[in-house]
């Protein structure tokens, strides 16, 4: 009798674990669907993107909102990633090997340029800033640690893309929506591909007011020991502090810094 009771307890625990895992999987499916949508999803779009009944989606979203993992933007009815999730992600980035390895190099780059320096990594066909160091010169930019930007319109995104193999580059470009941010944003896939090949050949990418007006950025990719791009760094500056001579100097510094980080990663990771 005792053995049977123990077996029944074990079966109950196993059943609860399976049920719990299934519920967790549903939450993760909804969360991933929201994360993959740059502009968020309203409830109708979300219901179409996940294999659950509308009522289940409502309950899952309500629970995610209650835990601040998702926020509801009332102005357009969309759901997007919430502050708690970004806080949890920031904890991971703080202990990231790449962020730790790159930090001293980023500080040196900031000191050499006195401009804003960024470190970003790819996430769901976007780039996420995992570090940002300000220079003494003020630059009004829409960037922050944890912020996401698109691949095609930023120097970190274009730098990362330029580090991909041709096959992988074509695959990723086929998934992108080349949304226009300024008059200079690349919205034609063929023109963008040519620019990325040029970036690959010279070792750095250039954002010429393509993401924000009056802001120019120079970025270079960081590679792991297998030669895969794992992130990118950039220096950003206002147009009035950018000229051909300064461009050449900063491009050289960014390229060298990315190479130094790549070399350090190969030894440590």
Give the domains, in start order, of the chain with CATH numbers.
2-81 (1.10.10.10), 86-268 (3.30.450.40)
CA-based max dimension of the chain: 86
Q: Which of 8-17, 75-84, 202-211, 218-227 has the lowest mean pLDDT?
A: 8-17
Q: Which of 92-96, 213-217, 239-243 has the lowest mean pLDDT?
A: 92-96
**The model's pTM:** 0.70
Q: What residues does 238 pair with on adjacent strands?
A: 215
Sequence-ordered list of residues with C-beta below 8 angstroms from that of 238, at least 6 positions apart, any chain: 139, 214, 215, 216
Residue 83 has a pLDDT of 75
Count H helices, E strands: the chain? 9, 8
Retrieve residue 110's tokens: 């900031």
Q: Give the residue, 100 or 161, on which the prediction is more confident.
A: 161
| CA distance linking residue 267 with residue 269, whole number of Å | 6
Contact between residue 161 and residue 232 where contact means Cβ atoms under 8 Å apart:
no
How would DSSP label each residue in 2-38?
Answer: HHHHHHHHHHHHHHHHHHHHHHHHHHHHHHHHHHT-T
As a residue count, the chain comes to 269
Neighbours of 68 (CB within 10 A): 13
**Each residue's pLDDT tens digit, 55-73:** 888 899 898 889 888 889 8
Most confident of 46-50, 110-114, 144-148: 110-114
| CA distance linking residue 180 with residue 12, whole number of Å | 55
């Amino acid at each position: 009798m005792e053995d049977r009771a123990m077996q029944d307890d074990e079966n109950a625990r196993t059943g609860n674990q399976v049920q719990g895992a299934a519920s967790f999987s549903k939450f993760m499916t909804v969360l991933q669907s929201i994360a993959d949508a740059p502009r968020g999803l309203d409830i109708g779009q979300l219901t179409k993107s996940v294999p659950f009944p509308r009522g289940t989606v409502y309950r899952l979203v309500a629970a995610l909102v209650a835990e601040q993992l998702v926020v509801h933007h009332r102005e357009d009815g969309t759901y997007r990633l919430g502050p708690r999730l970004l806080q949890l992600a920031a904890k991971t980035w703080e202990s990231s090997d790449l962020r730790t390895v790159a930090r001293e190099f980023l500080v040196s780059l900031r000191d050499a340029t006195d401009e804003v320096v960024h470190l970003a990594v790819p996430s769901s066909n976007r780039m996420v800033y995992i570090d940002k160091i300000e220079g003494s010169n003020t630059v009004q930019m829409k960037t922050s640690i944890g912020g996401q930007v698109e691949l095609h319109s930023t120097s970190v995104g274009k730098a990362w893309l330029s580090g991909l193999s041709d096959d992988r580059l074509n695959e990723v470009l086929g998934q992108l929506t080349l949304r226009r941010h300024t008059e200079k944003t690349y919205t034609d896939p063929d023109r963008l591909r040519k620019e990325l090949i040029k970036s690959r050949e010279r070792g750095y990418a250039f954002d010429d007011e393509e993401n924000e007006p009056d802001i120019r950025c120079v970025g270079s990719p960081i590679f792991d020991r297998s030669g895969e791009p794992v992130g990118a760094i950039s220096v950003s500056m206002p147009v009035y502090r950018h000229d051909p001579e300064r461009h050449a100097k900063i491009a050289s510094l960014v390229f060298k810094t990315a190479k130094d980080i790549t070399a350090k990663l190969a030894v440590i990771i």
